[in-house]
């Protein structure tokens, strides 16, 4: 493979700009390899966050040619190398330096969500679940917390509603617990009042960028919306509650 140019954003929270780096490419390389090669050859001070180089730690999220992706899972042979490849930090989160953003808002959001609370076990001290209930939320557990879905969601990215919306990643996290029949917690009121589930207009942008191919919108968000509507806005249920008190 030939030389290619990588247009990488350099700077920090006070500002910055793109800088072009030319480097040699070889078969099998991914974008993170190119970034490491550039670090080794000409930019030893360039900041980049990564850990596993296997698509499993969720650290190397960035925007490659404008698309939110994992750098370690983006092969160079899927990109047009005849023009510069742009690499920039995730736009939704505050910049720290170069390709590294501050994603700590996500950690704070997670602490607001009620933890898994197992109901009392059966008489023999165990819990039993139907296989369908085991299978259904299985995909939610594949989340690697790369925050690419949070980065692309317009409620956070464009409208900056960080105080009002927990974002698709944490709707997946909540769905995992809400769909577990062993869990005794109830997060529906919080979803309606604090977590802003009504702000999601199911555009599916989050689903499109998820490297674990979790069907975020169809399998997590829409079922949660349905549960909130059933609980708080269903007139039949309201009447039933009124008469039975349940």
Positions in the binding site for ligand SF4 (CB under 6 A)? 143-149, 153-155, 168-169, 172, 200-206, 209-212, 214, 216-217, 221
CB of 69 to ligand SF4, least distance (A): 10
Around Cβ 21, how many Cβ atoms within 10 Å?
A: 21
Sequence-ordered list of residues with C-beta below 8 angstroms from that of 204, at least 6 positions apart, any chain: 216, 217, 218
Pick what 182 binds: ligand SF4, ligand FES, none; C-beta below 5 to 8 Å, kind-dependent: none
Around Cβ 209, how many Cβ atoms within 10 Å?
A: 21
Q: Is 47 in the site for ligand FES (CB under 6 A)?
A: no
Torsion sign (Cα): 212, 93, 103, 223: negative
Quick one: 62 exposed, middle or buried, by C-beta within 10 A (0-12, 13-18, 19+)? buried
Nearer to ligand FES, 40 or 52 (CB): 52
* Residue 204, both tokens: 């599916």
Query: How far apart, in whole angstroms, are the C-alpha atoms of residue 176 and residue 143?
Result: 11
Pick what 173 binds: ligand FES, ligand SF4, none; C-beta below 5 to 8 Å, kind-dependent: none
Which residue, 218, 109, 209, 214, is CA-closest to 161?
A: 109
**Residue from the set 23, 25, 59, 174 that interacts with ligand FES by CB under 6 A:** 59
Query: How far apart, in whole angstroms, are the C-alpha atoms of residue 202 and residue 213?
Result: 16
Q: Is 148 in the site for ligand FES (CB under 6 A)?
A: no
CB of 126 to ligand SF4, least distance (A): 30
CB of 126 to ligand FES, least distance (A): 36
Nearer to ligand FES, 59 or 88 (CB): 59
Query: How far apart, in whole angstroms, are the C-alpha atoms of residue 76 and residue 34?
Result: 9
**Residue from the set 7, 10, 19, 53 that interacts with ligand FES by CB under 6 A:** 53
Binding residues for ligand FES, rule CB under 6 A, total: 12
Cα-flanking dihedrals φ and ψ of residue 26, to 5°?
-140, 160
**Residue from the set 26, 42, 51, 78 that interacts with ligand FES by CB under 6 A:** 51
Pick what 200 binds: ligand SF4, ligand FES, none; C-beta below 5 to 8 Å, kind-dependent: ligand SF4
Q: Site residues (CB under 6 A) for ligand FES?
A: 50-53, 55-60, 70, 72
């Amino acid at each position: 493979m030939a030389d290619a140019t990588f247009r990488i954003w350099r700077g920090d929270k006070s500002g910055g700009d793109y800088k072009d780096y030319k480097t040699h490419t070889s078969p099998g390389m991914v974008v993170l390899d190119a970034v490491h090669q550039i670090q080794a050859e000409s930019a030893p001070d360039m900041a980049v966050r990564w850990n596993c180089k296997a698509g499993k730690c969720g650290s190397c999220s960035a925007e490659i040619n404008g698309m939110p992706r994992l750098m370690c899972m983006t092969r160079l042979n899927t990109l047009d190398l005849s023009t510069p490849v742009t690499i920039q930090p995730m736009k939704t989160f505050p910049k720290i330096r170069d390709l590294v953003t501050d994603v700590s808002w996500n950690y704070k959001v997670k602490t607001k969500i009620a933890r898994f609370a197992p109901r009392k076990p059966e008489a023999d001290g165990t819990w039993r679940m139907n296989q369908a209930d085991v299978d259904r939320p299985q995909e939610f557990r594949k989340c690697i917390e790369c925050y690419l879905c949070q980065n692309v969601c317009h409620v956070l990215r464009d409208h900056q509603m960080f105080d009002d919306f927990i974002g698709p990643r944490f709707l997946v996290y909540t769905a995992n617990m809400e769909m577990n029949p062993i869990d005794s917690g109830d997060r529906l009121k919080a979803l309606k009042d604090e977590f802003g589930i009504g702000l999601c207009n199911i555009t599916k942008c989050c689903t499109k960028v998820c490297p674990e191919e979790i069907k975020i919108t169809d399998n997590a968000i829409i079922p949660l919306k349905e549960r909130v509507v059933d609980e708080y806005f269903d007139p039949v249920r309201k009447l039933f509650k009124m008469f039975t008190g349940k």
